[in-house]
């Protein structure tokens, strides 16, 4: 079963109150941008026989709202590490330069010189739109609205071997992020103690960023299939496995309505959401991942970047 696109009618864009939250016409336009990119990603995934799921807030929205959580403003995709790295091999050629409704797309990852933020996950951006997150806005940096694609990684199942490998991967990740400044963060997180030898860490930290990231990804792929416990890398680093999932929850996909689409969700979605949010059926108004970001779904970010258009003086942080 696949995604079935139904054209959005004008009624979709009307401002309304959902779950006590005011959803503006502008937010609806941003949702439309995201839905179109999700549909394009689905087409791409089918062409290359790639398995993917919606995750995090998008999964919660599909289950609880049959669409976006009213106060949400992004779409999250999750792929098992082996599928994710297959995706990386195809995505750049497929998306870069591709047009969606007359606007150019960009696939962005840590290997991409155009990437605004270098991280462990990737993005697909609509370059005919604008987003400026608070930290970016302060530095005059604008980019296009994006959907996020996260790898699902094998994490420690409690055995000594996987605990050691998980720690080694964390050290590689910190070398990628901090480069030659890795020792300061190692002192904070690990009391200065590392599993990888200091000489090796020093050599890795001095490599170009793309090479450091390739080492981290290759090591992550080598761990895939070695554990029945999986999770998000960054959450696993910070939460000591609090949100770890059983791999069986992610083996097969089911389809649920999401606005005008049918989206793939993990067959164990109830367990996934319970691990992530606890009582996920309870409505908790939370900030979005892009809280206080400036959005313009109708204007290319280059217009703001080049100073041709400025953020209105009366903008107060709302979408």
The predicted-structure confidence for 244-268, as pLDDT tens digits, reads as follows: 899 999 999 999 999 999 999 999 9
Angle made by CA atoms 230, 68, 278, in degrees to the nearest 5: 45
| 145 beta partners | 126
Rounded-to-integer distance, Cα 102 and Cα 113, Å: 24
Mean pLDDT of 74-93: 97
More confident residue, 139 or 32: 32
Name the CATH code of domain 13-154+247-305 (choices 2.60.120, 1.25.40, 1.20.120, 3.30.460): 3.30.460
Rounded-to-integer distance, Cα 44 and Cα 38, Å: 10
For residue 287, what pLDDT is reported? 57
Using DSSP, how many helices (H) and how many strands (E) does the chain show?
Answer: 11, 13
Rounded-to-integer distance, Cα 90 and Cα 142, Å: 26
Percent of the chain with pLDDT over 90: 71
pLDDT surpassing 70 at residue 240: no
- DSSP-assigned states of every residue in 200-268: HHHHHHTS-HHHHHHHHHHHHHHHTTS-SEEE-HHHHHHHTTTT-EEGGGGSSEEEEEETTEEEEEETT
pLDDT surpassing 50 at residue 74: yes
Structural domain boundaries in the chain: 13-154+247-305, 160-226
How far is residue 32 from each of residues 5, 27, 147, 288, measured CA to CA in Å? 12, 9, 12, 17
Contact 166, 236 (CB under 8 A): yes
Helix-helix angle 160-178:182-190, to 10 degrees = 140
Q: Is 30 left (phi over 0), alpha (psi -120 to 50) or beta?
A: alpha
Mean pLDDT of 294-305: 96
Dihedral sign of CA atoms 249, 250, 256, 258 in order: positive
Average per-residue pLDDT for the chain: 91
Per-residue confidence at 132, pLDDT binned at 50, 70, 90?
very high
The pLDDT tens digits for 155-186 are 988 898 998 998 999 999 999 989 999 888 88
Any idea of the CA torsion for 231, 236, 240, 243, to the nearest 10 degrees? -40
Strand-pair category, 122-132 with 253-258: unpaired
Other residues' Cβ atoms within 10 Å of the Cβ of residue 167: 16
Neighbouring residues of 69: CB distance < 8 A, sequence distance ≥ 6 = 57, 60, 61
Mean pLDDT of 198-211: 93
Most confident of 113-122, 229-238, 246-255: 246-255
Query: Which helix (DSSP H) or strand (DSSP E) does residue 143 occupy?
Result: strand 143-154
Strand-pair category, 76-80 with 245-246: unpaired
């Amino acid at each position: 079963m696949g995604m079935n696109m139904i054209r959005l009618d004008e009624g979709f864009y009307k401002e309304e109150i959902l779950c006590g939250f005011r959803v503006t016409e502008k937010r609806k336009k941003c949702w439309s941008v995201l839905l179109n990119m999700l549909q394009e990603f689905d087409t791409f995934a089918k062409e290359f026989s790639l398995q993917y799921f919606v995750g995090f807030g998008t999964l919660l929205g599909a289950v609880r709202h049959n669409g976006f959580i009213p106060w949400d403003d992004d779409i999250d995709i999750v792929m098992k590490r082996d599928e994710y790295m297959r995706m990386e091999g195809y995505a750049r050629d497929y998306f870069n330069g591709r047009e969606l409704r007359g606007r150019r797309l960009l696939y962005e990852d840590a290997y991409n010189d155009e990437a605004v933020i270098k991280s462990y996950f990737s993005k697909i951006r609509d370059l005919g739109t604008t987003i400026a997150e608070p930290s970016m806005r302060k530095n005059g940096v604008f980019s296009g609205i994006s959907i996020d694609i996260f790898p699902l990684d094998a994490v420690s199942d409690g055995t000594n071997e996987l605990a050691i490998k998980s720690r080694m991967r964390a050290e590689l990740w910190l070398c990628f992020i901090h480069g030659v400044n890795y020792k300061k963060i190692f002192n904070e997180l690990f009391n200065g103690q590392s599993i990888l030898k200091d000489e090796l860490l020093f050599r890795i930290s001095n490599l170009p960023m793309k090479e450091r990231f390739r080492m981290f990804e290759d090591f992550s792929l080598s761990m895939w299939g070695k554990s029945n416990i999986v999770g998000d890398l960054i959450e696993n680093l910070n939460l000591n496995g609090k949100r770890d999932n059983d791999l069986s929850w992610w083996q097969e996909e089911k389809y649920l309505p999401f606005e005008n689409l049918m989206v793939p969700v993990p067959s164990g979605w109830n367990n996934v959401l319970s691990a992530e949010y606890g009582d996920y059926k309870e409505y908790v108004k939370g900030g979005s991942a892009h809280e206080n970001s400036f959005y313009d779904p109708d204007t290319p970010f280059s217009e703001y970047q080049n100073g041709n258009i400025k953020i209105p003086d009366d903008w107060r942080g709302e979408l």
